[in-house]
Structure 1
Amino acid sequence: MLSKQQLIEYSEDARKNYVNHISIDCVVFGFHEGQMKVLLLKTHNEEKWYLPGGFVLKQEPIDDAADRILKERTGLDKIFLQQFKVFGDPDRSKVHNDMYQGLIPQEQNWFSGRFISIGYYALVDFFGVSPQQDQFSELCTWRDLDDMPEMELDHENIYKTALDTLRLQLNYQPIGYNLMPKEFTMPELQKLYETILGKKLDRRNFQRRILGFGILNRSEQPRKGGAHKAPYLYSFDLENYQHALTEGFKGGW
């Protein structure tokens, strides 16, 4: 929570530079050691968790604002970023309204009134991210999909909506280029899909279907090492991958 003086200074700066009552909240997905992960912020001296987010500069396009906010939190340029929903419940900012009630006049308080938030989700390379906290937070870190803390405001709803959108996307667009390393095995790619979907997939059916999309290249040599038969390495065919993102494909997992 900001002090009275901090709230005055922040509100003055925000009213001067940002579009009033429009925010952006981002659900950042990464994949590491067979686990789907989400990037979260924890506030100073409190066990309160939020999604990375921010506000839109007055002369800034919405998508550019999302790119800027994610670069500040992750250090990454050219993130795969998808706008998925606008969140506008009248009471979604009630926590902040109550928190700063009476600290300064309502008309001077940037956090008073109603905020409409534009939701984006991002798919990023786990190893490429350098998590950076914002001025309200003491920690910016990854949390496993099966170990998510309770979040403030409506951020849990935003996160769950993003995950549902990502699962739906698997039915008509490819997933993986932004999450997997440059080369990977078929079991590793299947594990990504299973983690997102939250269910097991038949190995043979998965391999037949994913190869049928024509978005993978197989290396001539299998992965070296290991006691068992070494699996072949695959990489994404970027031209076909981009075509599938644009044109889509049919079916479900």
Structure 2
Amino acid sequence: MERRQASSFYPHFEQEERPTIDKFVGLFNQLIFKQKAILTDFLDPGKREILKTIVGNDALIQEYGGYKNAEKKRVYLSLDWENLSPEDYQITPINIEYPMKFEKIRHGSILGSLANSGVDTDTFGDIITDGEGNWQIFVKTELRDFFLEQIDRIGKVRVKLREISFKEILIPEDTSLQKTEIIASLRSDSVLAGISKQSRTQIKKLIENKKAKLNWHDIQDSNIIIKVGDVLSLRHFGRVEITDISATKKGKYKVVLKLWRTRN
């Protein structure tokens, strides 16, 4: 098995993703040199796609994010198959405790407080809620003590973080909406314009400013054709998953989607 060269993967992804490519090529080369399994940080679907492209069929990938259908997951990279348990991914679920009767906390304030605490955002996974004011996060076990001891405020709200068992994990609230839009074109800018009710000129400007993503990667070309299964996101608007596309009698497209609106 040959070592990978990062430069050979550069043409497949955008220039901004080269540091991620460099890191993952380094991990793969370490795997084949030391013959020892590697556990990554929490990776979003876009980064996991890059890792899978680099690894190809030369190593085994298993992933887990702390609960079913997690978006950010830790990846276990190995040369031989291993039967893993949730504990093997070294993920600690944590409950955020605060005076719920008098205060409210939101996803954006939790993310901001964690990101500004001095740790990288890859050290923690999803932030989930049941919609009743209860919030939980998933962190790397090796940094568990840091989160438990150092995070005592979410925004202006005093909080206490408490480690919990996997049995105590919430059933996350599903905030998605099922929608159907009639769209003139399946170009990425046209689809985003139709869904967000903005003009294509506005959408093109957002794309140029790297505020629109397709499958967790910046959209570089407005002419890209959208297909079923694609995930589009627009800064300050939300994220959509395309679940069905069909043609109308008038030559347009009926697009069925799931929409998650941005919540502060």
Work out whether the TM-score is over 0.5.
no
Normalised to the residue count of structure 1, the TM-score between the two structures is: 0.25
Normalised to the residue count of structure 2, the TM-score between the two structures is: 0.24
- Taking CA–CA contacts closer than 8 Å with sequence separation of 6 or more, which of the two structures ends up with the larger relative contact order? 1
